[in-house]
Every structure is written in structure tokens, then in C-alpha cells.
A and B are shown apart, each in its own frame.
Chain A
Amino acid sequence: MKMQTLVKVRRTSQILFFVIFVLLLINTEFTGGFDTSEQDISLPYPVAIFLEASPLVALSNALSSHTLYRNLIISLVIIIPTFFMGRFFCGWICPLGSLNHFFGSLKSERKRGKQRIESNKYKKWQMTKYYILIAVLVAALFGSQIAGIVDPISLTIRSFSLAILPTMNYALNAILNGLYGTDIAILRSAADGMQYVLKNSIMSIKVVHFQQAVFIGLIFVTLMVLNLRITRFWCRALCPLGALLGILSRWSIFGLEKKSLKCNDCNLCQLHCQGGDDPKLGLKWRKSECHLCFNCAPSCPDNEMKFKFFPKTHTTEEKPDFKRRKFVTSLAAGALAIPLLRSSTSLDAAPNKKLIRPPGSLAEKHFLERCIRCGECMKVCPNNALHPTFMEAGLEGIWSPHLVPQIGYCEPSCVLCGEVCPTGAIWEISQNEKMGTNADGQLVDEPIKLGTAFYDRGRCLPWAMAKPCIVCEEWCPTSPKAIYLQDAEVVDSAGEARIVQRPYVDPGRCIGCGACEYACPIQVEPAIQVSSIGESRAKNNQILLKK
């Protein structure tokens, strides 16, 4: 195949994988159907497959949990070919790589002609990504999955799910609802039709909001803008997955061969280089940096370079040039980071009351071993109830999921978050397991508890304001209800005696779903709030003495 054709195939592959990636992400949502009365709700597509295919996610999970969860074995589909071929994933598949590629190819005043050639030369700072890789892998050995914060797939899914797509949805909704709000009939029906079409394709069925979204979104935008200065800055300098694949391609049998050392210094190969790997004749081609985009070979006017199997390697630098001191420093950074982080937030001493983990979540120690903060669970939650943490789980646990009942509660029959979690931080549980029921719907076991609800009697209508309410009791989904009522005679401000029903929580029955908190009319600070205590996953965070 001619090199020129290969570039087209590569471009097609990038577009194809990016489209699949975005479609899967958009479909990480329960959209409901009119043609099914299925009682177990699950998603029709393997929406987490890109994460499950990420070698970095798999490796760091293996290091921290000593196992390979569910579908993470799929990552071998990338790992093993990388042994032979090199970093094809970066140039052909990675959605973040493709985005960087696109933004890097935009015209930029700061990066044209000679400047661009200069900026595409291999730089020492490209080693940074290897040191990041070492640090996060060592952290994984110490039981912390901070690799997920910088894994490119996880980063992209998080940014898209929590910031980019919600932004797009908000904008489209604002436009369409604006049109729908007019008095002009034709605009109204056009907006209605458009809404229908978009909600069945690229739009989310509802406008969702996420805490932290603005920061997550700005980080992503910054990464994109950096491409205008240095092409694929993220991929070259920071990406630990790229670094991992670079190391894995150490013995690859596919690569660039320079036929002679004659070169007219036209620099066209350098001009279009994505990886900053010095394909130019006279320089050493750095295999571990190359994304296999194949831009260089066809641009050579003398046809002096070619990608092939078993290339002559006398002009190739086969491995990253690690510096011993930096190598040791990154080892130490990874090794010290986790003890330092945990010295400030001791998981055992004071569990955070607001750290209400999704149903099926493992105990915090194991949760942090696995959670990559990809945001899949938050994206899929039909109630927009899961949000990225800020400091609730400590700095180490930043952007991991927690339930914010004031915004949305946890539906007892819903297990979608566990279905999409690629790493088992939220273990995949069945509906019956969650509710403690058997196949016939009878309560046979303890349901999964997320926490326990507590009243703030100073804010509660029947407790403090002599008014009837009990919306919390109405919404309480357990049977028998965890919220029970007592008639009480109260005197209102006019001096009149009246009977109101006052609510109480039975902590033994409460599952901490947060429906009460969500439904409470005292919306700004509900009169009933769920705390994490009593959560099934944590032995050290309990109230009641149990058999």
C-alpha cells in the first residue's frame, strides 16, 4: 500500500473511532422505550468499551487490585499489537489523540513555517509523560488509582460527560425552548420536531448539571488550545498512556526505515510530524514517540523514508532516554504521594458525611484502588444524582462519584452505575441484590444502604412550623417505610391547636437513597439529609449494633 493511501486510511480510522466513541458516550444514558415493559433496565451497548480497552486503566487496576475486573481483559487487544506495531493506538484510535491532532492542524500564527519545524523537533520535556506514568503506576502499587485522572480515555469521557456534552445540551435546549416559547406556530412546531429528532440522536433527554463541571471543562479546553502552540502537546508531553505504549513498543518489528542519509533539508517530514519523534534523515527517529501517523514518509520529496516490517534500525533510537535521577524522583513521588495524601484525610478516622458513594461501591480502600474518575456513572445516572467530589474524599479522591440527594436521589431499582463502571469500583450488582429481594420480588435480604437520613427539626414543617407536610414519608421507597409518623398536637402562630404528623427515621430500615432529601420542600437546605453513616460498604461507618 502506498504511504499516501495509508495516511487516508489512518484519517478514516481516526474519524471512525472518534464517532463511535462519541456515540457510545451519548448513549450512556437510559432513554426509555415505548415498546418494552422489561423490568430490568440495562443499556443496549457496551458503553465503557474504550475505557476497558485502555492499557493504562487495565495495568494500573491490576497493580492496585491484583486482579483484572470484568472486561478489562479487552485492553489486550491494544497491548499485544502494540508489542509488534508500536503506538498505533495514539495515531489511529485514541479519541483524545484525534482531537489533539485536529486542533494541532489548525492554522496558528505562533506555529508556522520554521517555528513549526522547530516546535516539532524532539524535546527533552517529552520525557515528562514517562515520569508521570511511573509516578501513577507506583501510586497504583500503593493502592491508589490516580492514574485515571490522567488516563486520556478517562479524561476525555469525564470532560465530555460532565462538561462538554452538558454545555452543548444546555445551548441547544436554550435555543429550541426559546423558539418553542414564541407565539409563531410554525416556529413552535419546527422547534418541537427538532427537539424530537435531536433527543433521539445527539442530545441528552434532559439538561443535566454537574458540580465541578466548569473546572473539568476548562482543563479540557486548555489542553485543546495548547495544540495551537505545540502540536499534540498533551500526547507528546503529558499522556501516561502514550508513555506506556511507547515503552511497550520497545521491541516492535514495525517502523521507519531511512534508505540513505542523503537529505536536502526540506524539513517537510518534520513539518507534519505529530509525535515530535524526529523522522528527518540525519536525526535519530525516536520509536517510542512516534504515533504512526505516516505523515512523514509520503512528504519526503526524495522518497527516502518508508515504514515497513523489520526495518533497518541503525538510525533509530529504540527506547526513551530515561535519566536516572528523574527516574528515581518519579518513583519516589509516586511512593510518597499516597502516604502524604492519606495522612491528611484518614479514611478510617473520620469518614466524610457527604461522601455518599453509589450503590454497589466497594469499601473506600478498595474503591480508591479502582475508581478512575471517568464519570461514566455520573453520565448514566438517570436522576443526575451522582456528581464528582471536590474534597469530600480528600484530594486523592477528587472527581470520584458521590450522591448529592438534594439534586437527585438513588432509585432503588436502578443499577446502571454498576453496569457501566469499567473497573469495579462500583461493583456490578443486580436489581434484586440492591433491593434485597428474590426473583418474586419478596424482601429476603438486607438491601444495599448508602447512608442514613437525619432530620433537622428546626427546619422541618411539622416539627418547627406547625404545618402538615410528610412529603418525605410519601417518597420513602422502603416497605415498611423507614420514615414513620407520630401525631402531635401543636399550636400555630394564631394560638390554635392542631394535629400534625411528625416524621421520624428508623435507621434500621433507611437505605440512604436520599428520596426524602430530594423531595423535601425546604430545598436550599433540606430538613432531612442523608449522611454516609450506615452505608453497607463500610464496617467502620455504622450506627447500629448488629448481630
Chain B
Amino acid sequence: MGTDQKNMNRRAFLHTSARLGGVSVATLGMGFWLKNRSTRPQETIAATMKERLILPPDPNLPAMVIVNGGDPRKMVNQAVHELGGIKRFIDDSDVVVVKPNMAWDRTPEQAANTNPDAVAAVVALCLKGGASKVIVTDVSCHEPRRCYQRSGIADAANAAGAKVIFPEKHKFHEIAINGQVLTEWPVFEPFLDADKIINMPVAKHHNLTGVTLGMKNWFGALGGKRNQLHQKINESIVDLAELMKPTLTILDAYRILQRNGPTGGNIADVRLNNTIIAATDPVALDSYAANTFFDLNPIQVQFVKLAHERKVGNMYFEEIRQKVIEV
């Protein structure tokens, strides 16, 4: 509105009226539109886990292979071969996630993380088996870049052709777990999208559960406040074991951390054990390893017993078909 004019002319009047009217209507509309949108904010669960199937047991093949020898790579190759070969587990153009334990800023000799050579061997096998992409990742406890490097796994897996992925904050998605204690929890993206998952734990002592083996390794797929899981650790472990459905579990018992686990840090706590175990039954594997390497009665290992009861697998490893070999 010009102040230099004495009287507003008709044209300016109409112009101004239209402008004010338009702005008012638009503001009114916007206000109501926003009001109608107003609901109490809630965390939405958008992501879901890709459906994965547990491989049905083959009566002609062992469900667990225990290989003793001096070279982790050879032992891994032999173990998978005895289980029916990598082709049994990997289909062409599968995206495979290999999940070693690389949670700690420790060297291979300290045995707090999975052996890098064993991981490299699995990566190479998967690629040979036709996988389009093999991802190696773990949601570390310590600073991930230090863990990945000092464990030697990033280097070995990368050289074998894997895509090594650091856990980045924006790649965690809240998913419904619907377990007994875990209702929903953020899971790292690669675990959601993978066609096949291969679990590669390392055998270690742990004061709360007695041992940490295969099923406990799934903590490393999660984000969020994992330190709360310890309040119901056995139930949490089994909830995750039900959720993850690994195609294969390969336990690194080449070196065993006998004391001061799961972090270790002192080579005096480590025993050279020279064993790799591969199994399709994660419960039988944990049960066998707890019994053989840590002298525990599987009945007393709460998460093994609970997993058996919830039919994740068979804790009576004597009942399943197994094979022990030397390389």
C-alpha cells in the first residue's frame, strides 16, 4: 500500500484484497492440515528381516564336522568339504554375510577375535561357491576401526575378496524380534538383507554365561544398548539364535581364550587348540564345544539348555551325525 498516495485506487484495493485473502486462506488451510497430522510421535518399525530358511538335515551327511590340524585355512576348507561342500550352502549370486567375532581391539594371538585366516578361507569358499558378494562385518564393542585392523580380519578378508563393512550409525534399523525378552531391537543392515549368513564365532571364556561360542556371537549383529541384554542374557542369546537362522556355523577353536574372557588381552590366557568345527546345528556345536573345550556339562550351560528346549537345535550332540578328522 503506497503511503505516497492520498487515496487508494480501485485497482490497488482489489489487488491488496486478493493478496490478503489468499494469504489468509492459505494460512488457514495449512493450519488445519498440520493440525490433522498431529499424532503422538512413535518409533516406527519399517525394516524387516529377509526370510531365511534353515537348511534341512541331510541323512547322508554329518551335521557337525570337527577338524584338527595346524592350518586354519586347510581346516576350514576340509570342514566345509565334509559337510557337503560349499555349494550345499551357497546358491549362485547369493549375498552372504560372514559374521566373525571382531568385537575387541586385540591381536590374533590374544584370541579375543576370530582367526583372520579362518575368515579369509570362508570368504574365498563363498566366492568360489558362486556368491555375488561376501560381506564381512561385526558390530564391535571397542572402536570398530581399531578392532577390524588389529584383529587382522579386515586385511585378510579384504584380500580374499570380501567387502568389509564398518557398523555405521545410520545403518541400524529397529526390527520386531518378538522373542521372549527381546521385543524390538536395532539390527545392522547387512544382517537384514543377506541371503545367507555364516556365523564365525571364536571359543572364549565368559563369566556370566560360562562360555561364549556361536549363539552369543549374534550380539554383534545388534546396535542399541546391548549392555542391558546381560540382565537376561540366556533368553537374549536364544531369542537371537532363533532370529538369525545361520546357514552354517564355523567355530574357531584354533586358539582358545581360557580365562579373563571375553576380552582377554594376555597371551598367557590363550591355549593353542588347533581345532575348527563346522556345523549346521548351532546348538549341538555350542554344546559340544562347551563340553570338549571348557569341560562344562551342557545341561549347566543355561543358554544351550534353553535353546534346546526352544528347539533351535539339539544339545545332545552325541545324537547327531558327526565326523572327526585330521588334516
Contact = CB atoms under 8 A, between A and B. Distances in A.
Interface of A: 30-39, 41, 173, 176-177, 180-181, 195, 205-207, 382-383, 411-414, 435, 440-443, 461, 467-471, 473-481, 485, 501, 519-521, 523
Nearest to A521: B227
A475 B141 contact: yes
B101 interface: no
Given A413-B150, A443-B266, 5 more contacts: A36-B155, A382-B145, A443-B268, A477-B263, A519-B141
B49 to A, nearest CB: 18
Interface in B243-260: 259-260
Contacts of A479: 259-260, 263-266, 268-269
Contacts of B72: none
Contacts of A441: 107, 109-110, 266-267
A468 B150 CA distance: 31
B149 interface: yes
Contacts, number: 129
B150 A474 contact: no
B149 A440 contact: no
Given A382-B145, A412-B265, A521-B228, A37 B156 contact: yes
A446 B142 CA distance: 23
Nearest to B157: A34
Given A180-B170, A475-B263, A501-B207, A38 B149 contact: yes
B175 interface: no
B158 interface: yes
Contacts of A478: 265
Contact of A32 (B146, B265, B269): B146
Nearest to A32: B145
A470 B208 contact: yes
Interface in B3-50: none
Contacts of B230: 468-471, 474, 521
Given A474-B262, A479-B260, A479-B266, A411 B146 contact: yes
B281 interface: no
B166 A37 contact: no
19 contacts: A32-B144, A34-B148, A36-B149, A36-B155, A37-B154, A41-B146, A173-B170, A177-B169, A205-B166, A207-B169, A411-B143, A411-B146, A413-B105, A442-B268, A467-B231, A470-B208, A474-B230, A478-B265, A479-B263
A324 to B, nearest CB: 56
Interface-central residue, A206, A440, A476, by most chain B CB under 10 Å = A206
Contacts of B168: 195
B181 interface: no
Contact of A34 (B105, B158, B265): B158
B296 interface: no
Interface residues of B, number: 46
Contacts of B268: 442-443, 479
**Chain A at the B interface: SS class:** loop
4 closest Cβ pairs, A-B complex: A32-B145, A479-B266, A37-B152, A34-B158
Nearest to A523: B225
Interface-central residue, A176, A414, A442, A477, by most chain B CB under 10 Å = A477
B282 interface: no
Given A32-B166, A34-B154, A411-B105, A474 B207 contact: yes
Contacts of B263: 474-477, 479
A473 B231 contact: no
Contacts of B159: 35
Interface in B222-237: 225, 227-228, 230-231, 233
B227 A519 contact: yes
Nearest to A34: B158
A431 B270 CA distance: 20
Contacts of B110: 441
Interface in B93-113: 105-107, 109-110
Interface in B166-182: 166, 168-171
Contacts of A30: 145-146
A445 to B, nearest CB: 13
B164 interface: yes
Interface string B198-240: 0000000011100000000000000001011011010000000
A521 B159 CA distance: 38
A206 B140 CA distance: 15
Nearest to B150: A39
A39 B107 contact: yes
Contacts of A411: 105, 142-143, 146
B93 to A, nearest CB: 19
A471 B228 CA distance: 9
A534 B295 CA distance: 38
B270 to A, nearest CB: 10
B313 interface: no
